Amino acid sequence: MPGFAIYESSFGPVRMDYEGNVLLRLRTVEPTEETGERTQLTQEVFRQLQEYFSGQRTEFDFPYELRGTQFQKRVWAALETIPYGQTCTYGDIARRVGSPNAVRAVGAANGKNPMWIVVPCHRVVGANGTLTGYAGGIDMKRRLLELEQRVLERNAESS
């Protein structure tokens, strides 16, 4: 049975759309009084998000399903390989999916990413290294990248 839940995070309200015990979509939304129906799955997703935001988690391990075209799925799979705290370009992703001239199509697939943070589209930057095109806004993209850099620096200092 499809459902949704909304939680308030340090990065704003987060909406989780799910079906049964599988997350289908994770995104930020405008503030609302709605909470939807919270489940064991959404509580686990939120717990892992909180760990990510506090710098205690760099990967996610809850069940999710990516629904889209074959090309979108190839792009999203490539995004999942970008290491925590690192960036790559749209051109890099286009080459990884075997379509080096499809930079704009990669950008469009990136923009349709249904799994905010989990499929780390925020780690994709313009060819010249600038922060470009992010559904949550450039400020959100910057905040996420800065968070990951702080965590990497902290971990490097403590090792």
| 94 in Cβ contact with 127 (< 8 Å) | no
Of residues 5, 41, 121, 124, which has the active-site annotation? 121
- Where would I find the H helices in the chain? 40-53, 70-79, 90-96, 103-111, 138-158
Nearest to 137 by CA among 55, 58, 28: 28
Give dist(CA 42, CA 17) in Å, integer.
Answer: 9
Name residue 5's beta-bridge partners.
16, 36
Active-site residue flag, 88: no
| 117 in Cβ contact with 144 (< 8 Å) | yes
Active site residues: 121
